[in-house]
Every structure is written in C-alpha cells, then in structure tokens.
Amino acid sequence: MAKLYVNEKKKKGYINPEIYGHFSEHLGRCIYEGLFVGEDSHIPNKNGMRTDVVEALKRLQIPVLRWPGGCFADEYHWKDGIGPKEGRKRMVNTHWGGVVEDNSFGTHEFFELCEQLGCKTYINGNVGSGTVQEMSEWVEYMTFDGVSPMAELRRRNGREEPWRVDYFGVGNENWGCGGNMTPEYYANLYRRYQTYVRHYDKAAPVKKICGGPNADDDNWTKKVLETCYAKPNPGGKNFSGFMDGLSLHYYVVPGDWEHKGSATGFDEADWYKTMHKALYMEELIKLHGAIMDQYDPDKKIGLIVDEWGDWFDVEPGTNPGFLYQQNTMRDALVAAVSLNIFNRHCDRVKMACIAQMVNVLQSVILTEDERMLLTPTYHVFHMYRGHQGAELVESSLSVEGTVGVEGYEVPALQESVSVREDGTVLVTLANLSVREACPVELMLTEKKPETVKAAILTGKMQAHNTFEEPDRVKEEEFQDVALTERGVRFTIPACSVVSLEIR
Ligand code: AHR
C-alpha cells in the first residue's frame, strides 16, 4: 500500500501554462502534411491548416508553440518564407532528409496557426548562419506598428497589424548544429544579437531565450551566465536584462545514438532503462538550477526545456532524416513523469516544449494522408491540462522499495499535485511498474473531499494506436476510486497514468 500525503494548504509555486508547450520544426512531416497541407489540399483545412489536427490540438489547450527549429532555425532565412507563394525560394532542407523546402509555410502561416490554436508564439532566430541585421529585421517585421521598411513590407504582404511575439530564441543548440561554438564565443554573440531583439511593443516585451546547455553540460551554463547575465533594470534601458530564459535540451534515448532502440519492439529491461533516463531530467534541472541560483537567486530567469522527449530509431522503411516514430504506453509514462517533474520544479522551469508536435519523435498526433491518430502521449497531455496555471502544492509519497532491473531501478510511483483557483485539487500519478498494481491511500490535510472525477490511461507496455485501430489506447473514466473521510482510495494498475480531480 502506498500513502500519498497532500498538503493542499502549502502552495509551492505557480505552474506556468507554458510548461505544456510544443515544438514544431521544418522536419519530416511535422509542418508539411502534419500541420499544414495548403489551401488546395483534399484534406479539410482552414487557410491551409489541417482542421482535424488543429481541432484535436485545441482540446489540449496548447499554451505556446516553438518554430521553425531546431537545427533548421540556424539555417532559416525568414525572407525566403514571405510574399506570394509562387515567388518563394525552393531549396534543400540539408539537415532533415535532403528534401525540397518550398517555403510555403513561413512567418504569416505560423501566426495563422497560432491564432487558430489560440496559443502564444515562440520564434527561434538564426545565429549560426544568419546576421544580426537579419534577426533584428525579422523582429521589426513581426512586431513594429509604426513606419519602417520592415513594417511596410509586412503590410504589403497583407498584414496590417503587427503580431505578438511572446518569446524569441537567440539561436538553437549553438554548441552543435547551430554553429559548433564554444560557450565563450556563443555568449559574446548572444550579448550582441539579443541587443537588437527590440521591444517595439513596450506593453508586451519580447521574452528573450538564451541558448542553453546540452543535457549535463554545466560548463556551458556557467560560462554563458558568467558572460550574459545582466540584472533586469525596470527603470533603465535594459529593462528586461539580457535574458528571460535559458534553454535546456534533453532527449531520452534508451540505447546509444547509433542504435537508439525500436519505438515498439522493446523488453522490460528497455522499459526500465527508458524510465531511469526520463527521471534523470530531475537531476538536470537541479544541476543547472543550482548554477542559475548563483546568478539569479530570485529566479527571474526561467529554465526553458524547449526540447524534450523520447528519441527512438525511425519506423522501418521511413526516411531516416524524418525522425518518424510510433508512440506506446512507454511514451505515455515518460510524458507523465516528465510533466510531473516540470510541475514540481515550477519555481525554475517556466516553459517546456515536447519534441515534436506531429509526426516527429514523441508526437501527440500522427498522420497518414487524411487519417490522423492521437498517441498515448496526447492523452497524458489531455489528462494533465488542468495543471496549467494552477498552484503546485506539497505532496509526498510513501511507497516501499523500487521496481526495475539491475542498474535501472526506479520508484514505482511518481506524482504531482496542484490546486486550481476554484479549490479543485488535481493529482496526477504514474505507475512505472510493468507488472505490479499498487493500492494507494491518498490523504488531504484539511479539505473534506466531496466528489472525485478520475481518468486513467492504461495498457500493456507496447500498446499503441494505429491508423487501423486508432483507439486501442485511450483515456477512460476511472471508476474504481472510493472517497474516504480524508481523501480517496484506489488501486493504480501496472503501467498506468491516473488523474484525479478532487472537489
Ligand atoms: O528535435 C530534433 C532535433 O534535435 C532538433 O532540430 C535539434 O535542436 C535537436 O538536436
């Protein structure tokens, strides 16, 4: 029997909705086919965006979308993607599959997509192969309302009003595909480039994201903060400091980069290895968070985990450069534990973007021509959506022992708990054990529970949805939950994710 103690009175921090963010890159079939099919497509669409996909995404209450990359961002020249479509450059996507990029999805289309989704915008600029002028003109094009060459160009292209850019990333993975830079070199470039990311709309300053470390590279974090950290100065010129966020990228790869492992054909040892690696996210947040605390003890700068998720071998027969993989209950559990970790560290983690939204890596949606399916990861995001904008509260689990295989032991259960404005307590709980169900006694501190609404996602470890059977794994009502004097009692099945809304 596990005991889950919840102190709903002890607030631990605001869960920024952007923790439930997504990432979409010009990679494989994410943008083209997955999100954007063009107005002339036989697939139903609104202004070129797939209606079925947009409708499904709206049910997740997507808070923010990052675009256009990824590695693609440091090769992207935004002027190629504006103006009449027939005049747009056709070119090769050198990073991803060597396919033709026709630039039919560009700046205007991105904002159209975000408008349809009702989400915030996160644009990633080009430092690796772009100039300061190019980056500063892009910001001017998107956000300036007055008289200027770029604002006029935007108007000539059919958009009178400026758009709102909520976040702007200054380069991507500049330690790797974004220019193979040293931290010292990037840090100096960052200082320079970010200067020209102007806040044209003083009421809605663009939040600037500095390119952060790869996984556990704490030297990068130290060097970059040492050079770039500047205290916000609300009355002065640099009123937002040099940065509002520092990114972190970490992927869960059960094997090595040469042989990552199959998305669907895996055994229990692979399962626990994957869970072990997913839980490592917490160590990374602590590692980089401790360095950030030295410069920014008031936690003004967010740790922005703008790429995370499982990375497996591509599906057999698909383009290796497209990174298309299936999604099983293993992905669902990785999503559940990762989101629980982000919630629990919401004092520092201000945004996280799963990689990637559709058809690439750990996607919430897969498409095949006009067909679409929701992955197990989608259902986890749906079950967790109530945490967005809620207050994290204190919780602690008392559970005996661990589960796993030698070297990859993990705690069986993992949770996070928040309270919404109306007093509803939302508990999300994952059972990482492949075999053992676990009885749970959940106890609140003061609240006398009156009702509980519960949902469950469960299945065999390799269970997944296919275009022939799209509903094999889906969120269902969880009925076997009993209200007690002080909380609720239930048994969480093996390999499951449960959400409980207690009123
Ligand atoms: O998400 C796929 C790739 O992974 C991104 O383009 C890059 O930033 C990372 O290495």
Residue 247 tokens, joined: 């990114």
What does the alpha-carbon distance between residue 334 and residue 340 come to, in Å, rounded to a whole number?
A: 10
Tell me: pLDDT of 434 over 70.
yes
Backbone angles phi, psi at 123, to 5 degrees: -100, 135
- Count the Cβ atoms, other than its own, within 10 Å of residue 317: 6
- Count the Cβ atoms, other than its own, within 10 Å of residue 379: 25
Tell me: pLDDT of 239 over 90.
no
CA distances from 145 to 115, 126, 132 (A): 19, 23, 21
Q: Which pLDDT value is given to residue 295?
A: 93
Q: Is the CB of 244 under 6 A from ligand 1?
A: no
Tell me: pLDDT of 238 over 60.
no
Mean pLDDT confidence for 296-315: 97
Report the atom number in ligand 1 closest to the C-alpha of 176.
10
Q: What is the pLDDT of residues 350-364, one digit of tens each?
A: 999 999 999 999 999
Tell me the percentage of the chain whose pLDDT exceeds 90: 97
Q: Is the whole model's pTM more than 0.85, yes or no?
A: yes
Measure the CA angle with vertex 281, ends 284 and 72; round to 5°. 90
Tell me: pLDDT of 234 over 90.
no
In terms of C-beta distances under 8 Å and separation of at least 24 residues, what long-range contacts does 30-33 make, across chains too?
30/356, 30/357, 30/358, 30/359, 30/360, 30/363, 31/67, 31/68, 31/105, 32/104, 32/105, 33/359, 33/367
- Judged on CB neighbours under 10 Å (0-12, 13-18, 19+), 363 is buried
Q: What is the pLDDT of residues 210-222, one digit of tens each?
A: 999 999 999 999 9
Among protein residues, the one whose CA lies closest to atom 8 of ligand 1:
70
Mean pLDDT confidence for 305-334: 98
Report the atom number in ligand 1 closest to the C-alpha of 356.
1
Categorize the per-residue pLDDT at 229 as very low, low, confident or very high, splitting at 50, 70 and 90: confident
Bond from prior residue into 356 cis (ω within 30 degrees of 0): yes
- DSSP label at residue 314: P
Report the atom number in ligand 1 closest to the C-alpha of 355.
1
153 within 8 A of 82, measured Cβ to Cβ: yes
Q: Is the CB of 362 under 6 A from ligand 1?
A: no
Backbone angles phi, psi at 120, to 5 degrees: -75, 165
Helix locations, 247-301, DSSP H: 268-295
Tell me: pLDDT of 401 over 90.
no
- Count the Cβ atoms, other than its own, within 10 Å of residue 452: 19
Residue 502 tokens, joined: 């207690």
The one catalytic residue among 33, 137, 173, 475 = 173
Measured in Å, how far apart are the chain's first and last C-alpha atoms?
Answer: 24
Q: Which pLDDT value is given to residue 240?
A: 60
CA of 23 to the centre of ligand 1 (A): 10
Categorize the per-residue pLDDT at 141 as very low, low, confident or very high, splitting at 50, 70 and 90: very high
Has 307 been annotated as catalytic?
A: yes
Tell me: pLDDT of 232 over 80.
no
Q: What is the pLDDT of residues 8-34, one digit of tens each?
A: 999 999 999 999 999 999 999 999 999
Q: Is the CB of 194 under 6 A from ligand 1?
A: no
CA of 175 to the centre of ligand 1 (A): 12
What does the alpha-carbon distance between residue 160 and residue 165 come to, in Å, rounded to a whole number?
A: 16
State the chain's mean pLDDT as an integer.
96
Tell me: pLDDT of 235 over 70.
no
438 within 8 A of 492, measured Cβ to Cβ: yes
Beta strands 100-101 and 91-92 are antiparallel
Residue 306 tokens, joined: 């703008």
Residue 35 tokens, joined: 């999100």
The one catalytic residue among 8, 75, 112, 307 = 307
Tell me the percentage of the chain whose pLDDT exceeds 70: 98
Among 23, 26, 71, 180, name the best residue to mutate to test ligand 1's pocket (greatest count of ligand atoms within 8 A of Cβ): 71
Residue 285 tokens, joined: 């947040």
Categorize the per-residue pLDDT at 241 as very low, low, confident or very high, splitting at 50, 70 and 90: confident
- Residue 342: which H helix or E strand, with range? helix 329-344
Beta strands 413-419 and 425-431 are antiparallel
Q: Is the CB of 355 under 6 A from ligand 1?
A: yes
Among protein residues, the one whose CA lies closest to atom 7 of ligand 1:
70
Beta bridge partners of 102: none
Beta bridge partners of 101: 91
